[in-house]
Amino acid sequence: MATTVPPPAPAEEVVARLERMWEARPGVLGWVMTTDHKRIGLLFFWTTLALFGAGGVEALLIRTQLIRPDNHLVSPGTFDELFTVHGMTMIFFFIIPASTGVFGNYLLPLMIGARDMAFPRLNALSYWVFLGSAIFLYTSLFMGLAPNAGWFDYVPLANRRFDPGPPIDFYCLAVIFNSLSSTLTASNFIVTIFKMRAPGMSFNRMPLFCFAFLATSFGLLFALPPLSADTIFLFLDRNVGTHFFDVAHGGSTLLWQHLFWIFGHPEVYILIVPAFGIATSIIPAFTQRRLVAFPLVAIAELLVVFIGFGVWAHHMFAVGMPVITVVFFAAATAMVVIPSTVQVFAWCMTFVTGSPQFRTPLLFIAGFIFMFVAGGLTGMMFVAVPFDQQVTDTYFVVAHFHYIIFGAAVFPIFAGFYFWFPKVTGKLYFELPGQISFWVVFVGTNLLFFPMHVVGLEGMTRRVYTYSGGSGWGPENLAESIGGYLTGAGIVLLLGNLLVSWFRGPPAGPDPWRAPTLEWTIPSPPPEYNFAVIPKVSSAYAAWDLADREEDRRKLAEHALVLDQGHEQPVSSPIDGWFSEIVEMPHDSPWPIVLATALSLVFTTLVIHKYAVAGIMGVLVLLALLFWHQEEPQNA
Amino acid sequence: MSGYVEGGTSERLVPRTTDARNAREAAALAARRRGPTVSLWGMAMVVASEGTLFGAFVGSYYYLRFKSPHWPPLGTPEPKVVVPLILVAVLATTSVPMQLAALAARAGRLWATRSFLLVALVVQSGYFAYEVHDYVDQLHRSTPQDNAYSSIYYLLLGADHAHVFFGLLLNVWLLGKLATGLTMYRLNAVQAVALYWHAVNVLTWIVIGTLLSAAA
Amino acid sequence: MRPSIRLLAGFQWFGLLAGAAVWTAQHVVGYGIGQAQCVAGGMHWGIGNDVWQLTLLSCAGLVVVLAEVAAVVVYLATRGADYGSGPPGSGRFGGRTPYGRLNFFAMGAMLANALFLAIMLLDGLAASFDVLCRQS
């Protein structure tokens, strides 16, 4: 059974054959059964946008409640639900799915010269599980039973004695359900990055975006299980009568905190490292210069997540741990800032030594660098334990993490929306409204989050429902709330610009930015099969290697490396990218959505405490898994 | 030097592995592949994730243990040592037939693969049946609701048994698939499930070692 | 005399991974020893905290220094290999050998090991001084 070389054929015929082979099923069924990473990225996009809106509404309600002293817009109980669900939504249901599910899914295969992820059906499952978990959490909100003990849900407040009833059960199960989606995505990314790179793309020729997503994926893979363990313990304590967190019977309330922050600190790096990847993609394009210190930036992206696994107890500096424990975590926390600093220097030097064009994406990246540095400085201040103990649980902390999360995670997401808009839609966005949206958002977020430093130092604690007039915090809170509305307006303008541009924007062509990575070498929007010819890669800036791109065109004419004998992808060796085998990929499948539905039933029956029924639903899950694996990829 | 840049091997020499339809073809194509397969990497991800989950459980065990002056707490029975250790050793030996099954699959020897899988399945099922009986038996003497020790004890042990059970399901599924022949997909699957079992065996050692340390 | 490619590759992996592994061990074990010294059920084997921590620091520190040396050796041996761009040409750094990848990882390892050493010196030394079971 020899592998034959396909006969020569004209380029148009080859492309037509590929299009037929990879054609998506038409209509709604095509979307429901899709395994195409680009479609899944778009599904994630719409869903995360809706959830971002929900989280934003929750934020504006919080800000409106806090706009003046002694306000009673919402009840205290509702306020608790608002800040809890706001935190959960923004972290678990917006930033992570947007950065990994939207940008990672859509762009990773394109950047490595692949036709899809290593596990396309798993990718689809990731999305449907994510959607199920979002519906699960928001059902609790609409039923008035939303989680209400803060996004980190400390025991003993979250235990049965002080918070009986469904809300915290929803917390535990929503978090576990959602973490399944991210674990699947992370696994998929890791295997894809190691095995599915275009042959010849050795590790040192991989774009920095891929390093960022590799680091993020390892972070997710190892950080989510401790959170699952924590929430399993809590669910059992609440509903089965176990004593993991019950001090009277030998348990420990601090155990919750340790496990939570072993997840929680890597989580915050997971939030921002994809943004680093987006920034390192945008800066070379708009400075027309290779990134300064490329190998150092690559290792820094991996190091920040790795060291980030060793700093978790700095979130617990105020609970009374012995000094010897504190020492280990303070030391690691002090040093974990260095990889981030290396990256900031590299970005800034690239600006300075390149020719920056401040189009909207680069404006958002500049804003990102500013806010990341500001937030990083306040973060460094927490290394000083005595200072940390004074400002723990005040608005100073809220200011710090919003500068980081909004500045360092959300700004690059906005930058990325603008930057890749031409690639995804084939249209250019309108530049002037884009620039205005940046300035409105930038001014808004600084007005919103900067005064929080001040009131935090003055003693305003976080999560307070209201405050007295005599506290003197009124003016700052008013400014913050105005900043909040301004930010909201800026975001509406941003999204509106993108929407209008989608309908009315001028055509973009494949490469409006003359950017360096492989996705800019294919048409906009990309065809289903991504690359007609598996690209030749000689560097991390493949689109700027014109000789290689010329050779790709020649190969298309010779019908070489086209891989059109089926739904095919190349697989290479993990480090040096040696061409290893050609595999047939799965196409559309109903099993991801079926399996996700079965999982939703499991979680739903668990939250209403019908455990036997949940067991039966678990059997349905196993059956769905079985049917999924009945289909074996074979040649068409 | 273009050979290196394109990944060292020209397209005509790289196997189209999913083409293999029978054992002989699968073995021939598998021999031309370099390094662990995509499916083995995928199983490695599962192992990493579940391993970390168990790491969190084991870490919690030690965290709770070092807080307590008495472990197990007074009134809670100490774990038995000898029988569990023997059983863990027996389970660990099934790594041998599982690995032999993977090697046989790679060599295209279908009957050998089935036989090794069956041997492993029989021993693993025997182990599991005894462990379920023992778990239920222990519940008559102490319950997870007694104290933190018994909570973490039953959870850790139960989680381990659950993973063994899932492994049994995987082996049964494999035998079902292999009933109609060996394709490249099934060859990859045998290798992946063998990795799963090696991981479960190592994890079971760690879990039992942790639980039995209370008897020290 | 340049080391063989296999030796260089071995040094590269050692340089990249050994430092990370021993920092992890020193961090976890050091933290665990501190906990054991200070909590109710902790076990003491008659060895003082200072002895534990300084021994841990010395052993781990030695490995990190060796890893750094390995990384520097690889970097110097492969200097001139363009770590990222352009086709692998002819001559010393051309052909099928992945000198570019070795150089790239060596640079990363040099930064990583320096950082791990800094963290370990900070917490290893600080954990060896004075009564440390005082509540913070």
pLDDT in tens, A325-374: 999 999 999 999 999 999 999 999 999 999 999 999 999 999 999 999 99
Shortest CA distance from C100: residue in chain A = A204
Provide mean pLDDT across the span A154-167.
Answer: 94
Higher pLDDT, C88 or B85: B85
B119 neighbors B99 (Cβ within 8 angstroms): no
- Say which amino acid occupies A156: P
Average confidence score pLDDT of chain A: 94
In this structure, of A444-448, B75-79, B154-158, C16-20, the range with the lowest mean pLDDT score is: B75-79
Residue A298 C-alpha, separation from nearest chain C C-alpha, in angstroms: 8
Q: Is B7 on the interface with C (CB under 8 A)?
A: no
Examine residue A361 and say whether the peptide bond preceding it is cis (omega within 30 degrees of 0). Answer: no
**What pLDDT does A565 receive?**
85
Q: Is B3 on the interface with C (CB under 8 A)?
A: yes
Burial class, A31, CB count within 10 angstroms (exposed 0-12 / middle 13-18 / buried 19+): middle
Q: Is C133 on the interface with B (CB under 8 A)?
A: no
Provide mean pLDDT across the span A42-61.
Answer: 97
Q: Is C96 on the interface with B (CB under 8 A)?
A: yes
Residues B169-213 have pLDDT tens digits of: 999 999 999 999 999 999 999 999 999 999 999 999 999 999 999
**What pLDDT does B69 receive?**
86
Distance CA B105, CA B23 (A): 8
Predicted confidence (pLDDT) at residue A168 exceeds the cutoff of 80: yes
A407 neighbors A95 (Cβ within 8 angstroms): no
Place of tokens 């201040």: A381
Distance CA B149, CA B145 (A): 10
Establish, for the pair of chains B and C, how many residue pairs have beta carbons separated by less than 8 Å. Answer: 30
Q: Which residues of B touch C90 (CB under 8 A)?
A: 1
Establish, for the pair of chains A and B, how many residue pairs have beta carbons separated by less than 8 Å. Answer: 183
Length of chain B in residues, anyone? 216
Burial class, B3, CB count within 10 angstroms (exposed 0-12 / middle 13-18 / buried 19+): middle
C110 neighbors A566 (Cβ within 8 angstroms): no
Residues A389-441 have pLDDT tens digits of: 999 999 999 999 999 999 999 999 999 999 999 999 999 999 999 999 999 99
Predicted confidence (pLDDT) at residue A310 exceeds the cutoff of 80: yes
Provide mean pLDDT across the span A572-587.
Answer: 88
Question: Residue B30 — very low, low, confident or very high, per pLDDT cuts 50/70/90?
Answer: confident
Q: Which residues of B touch C24 (CB under 8 A)?
A: none
Residues forming a β-bridge with A571: A581
Predicted confidence (pLDDT) at residue B14 exceeds the cutoff of 50: yes
Higher pLDDT, B35 or A37: A37
Burial class, A4, CB count within 10 angstroms (exposed 0-12 / middle 13-18 / buried 19+): exposed
Q: Is the pTM of this model over 0.80?
A: yes
Question: Residue A378 — very low, low, confident or very high, per pLDDT cuts 50/70/90?
Answer: very high
Residue B68 C-alpha, separation from nearest chain C C-alpha, in angstroms: 5
Closest CA to B158 of B81, B215, B211: B211
User: What is the CA A486 to chain-centroid distance, rounded?
Assistant: 25
Strand pairing report for A579-584 and A568-572: antiparallel
CA dihedral B12, B13, B17, B19 (to 10 degrees): 40
Interface-testing mutation among B16, B183, B190, B203, with chain A (most A C-beta atoms within 10 A): B16
Closest CA to A517 of A346, A285, A273: A285
In this structure, of A17-21, A594-598, B31-35, the range with the lowest mean pLDDT score is: B31-35
Place of tokens 């205005």: A436
Question: Residue A6 — very low, low, confident or very high, per pLDDT cuts 50/70/90?
Answer: low
A605 neighbors A228 (Cβ within 8 angstroms): no
Predicted confidence (pLDDT) at residue B10 exceeds the cutoff of 80: no
* pLDDT > 90 in chain A, percent: 88
Provide mean pLDDT across the span A51-60.
Answer: 97
Q: Is C136 on the interface with A (CB under 8 A)?
A: yes
A607 neighbors A173 (Cβ within 8 angstroms): yes
**What pLDDT does A576 receive?**
84
Whether residues C27 and A539 touch (CB distance < 8 A) is answered with no
Based on its alpha-carbon atoms, the radius of gyration of chain C, rounded to whole angstroms, reads 20
Whether residues A540 and C37 touch (CB distance < 8 A) is answered with no
Question: Residue B2 — very low, low, confident or very high, per pLDDT cuts 50/70/90?
Answer: very low
Question: Residue B8 — very low, low, confident or very high, per pLDDT cuts 50/70/90?
Answer: low
Residue C107 C-alpha, separation from nearest chain A C-alpha, in angstroms: 7
Residues A175-232 have pLDDT tens digits of: 999 999 999 999 999 999 999 999 888 898 999 999 999 999 999 999 999 999 999 9
Helices and strands: H and E segment counts in chain A: 21, 2
Residue B67 C-alpha, separation from nearest chain A C-alpha, in angstroms: 8
Check residue A94 and report its DSSP letter.
I
**What pLDDT does B113 receive?**
96
Between residues 93 and 112 of chain C, which touch chain A (CB distance below 8 Å)? 98, 100-101, 103-105, 107-109, 111-112
Question: How many beta carbons lie within 10 A of that of residue A333, not counting itself?
Answer: 26
Q: For A354-384, where are the alpha helices, taking DSSP H only?
A: 360-381
Q: Is B68 on the interface with C (CB under 8 A)?
A: yes
Residues forming a β-bridge with C135: A322
Interface-testing mutation among B61, B62, B66, with chain C (most C C-beta atoms within 10 A): B66
Token pair for A180? 């399944």
Q: pLDDT per position in chain C (136 positions), as tens? A: 567 888 888 999 999 999 999 999 999 999 988 888 887 666 666 677 888 899 999 999 999 999 999 999 999 998 877 765 434 444 445 455 678 888 999 999 999 999 999 999 999 888 887 667 888 8
Report how far apart, in Å, the C-alpha atoms of B176 and of each of A632, B109, B118, B120 are. 14, 16, 11, 15
A248 neighbors B73 (Cβ within 8 angstroms): no
Predicted confidence (pLDDT) at residue B21 exceeds the cutoff of 90: no
Check residue A584 and report its DSSP letter.
E
Q: Which residues of B touch A225 (CB under 8 A)?
A: 49-50, 52-53, 55-56
**What pLDDT does A302 receive?**
97
Out of B1, B4, B69, name the one closest to residue C41 (CB).
B69
Residue B172 C-alpha, separation from nearest chain A C-alpha, in angstroms: 11
A533 neighbors A560 (Cβ within 8 angstroms): yes
Interface-testing mutation among B2, B4, B9, with chain C (most C C-beta atoms within 10 A): B4
Long-range Cβ pairs for the range B68-77 (8 Å, 24+): B68/A250, B68/B148, B68/B149, B68/C40, B68/C41, B69/C40, B69/C41, B70/C41, B71/B149, B71/B214, B71/C41, B72/B149, B72/B150, B72/B214, B73/A250, B73/B147, B73/B149, B76/B142, B76/B146, B76/B147, B76/B149, B76/B150, B77/B141, B77/B142
Whether residues C41 and B68 touch (CB distance < 8 A) is answered with yes
Whether residues C41 and B65 touch (CB distance < 8 A) is answered with yes
For this complex, say whether ipTM is above 0.90.
Answer: yes
Whether residues B60 and A565 touch (CB distance < 8 A) is answered with no
Range C66-102 burial, b when 16+ CB lie within 10 A, else e: bbbebbbbbbebbeebbbbbebbeeeebeeebbbbbb
User: What is the CA A204 to chain-centroid distance, rounded?
Assistant: 24
Check residue C134 and report its DSSP letter.
S
In this structure, of A238-242, A630-634, B173-177, the range with the lowest mean pLDDT score is: A630-634
Distance CA B15, CA A532 (A): 20
Residues B126-148 have pLDDT tens digits of: 999 999 999 999 999 999 999 99
Whether residues B45 and A221 touch (CB distance < 8 A) is answered with yes
Token pair for A56? 């934003």
Report how far apart, in Å, the C-alpha atoms of B107 and of each of A583, B25, B173 are. 20, 10, 21
Neighbours of chain A (3+ CB pairs under 8 A): B, C
Token pair for C32? 């665990």
Examine residue B72 and say whether the peptide bond preceding it is cis (omega within 30 degrees of 0). Answer: yes
Provide mean pLDDT across the span B101-123.
Answer: 96
Residue B214 C-alpha, separation from nearest chain C C-alpha, in angstroms: 12
Predicted confidence (pLDDT) at residue A9 exceeds the cutoff of 80: no
Residue B189 C-alpha, separation from nearest chain A C-alpha, in angstroms: 10
Burial class, A451, CB count within 10 angstroms (exposed 0-12 / middle 13-18 / buried 19+): buried
Give me the helix-helix angle, B38-67 and B148-178, nearest 10°.
160
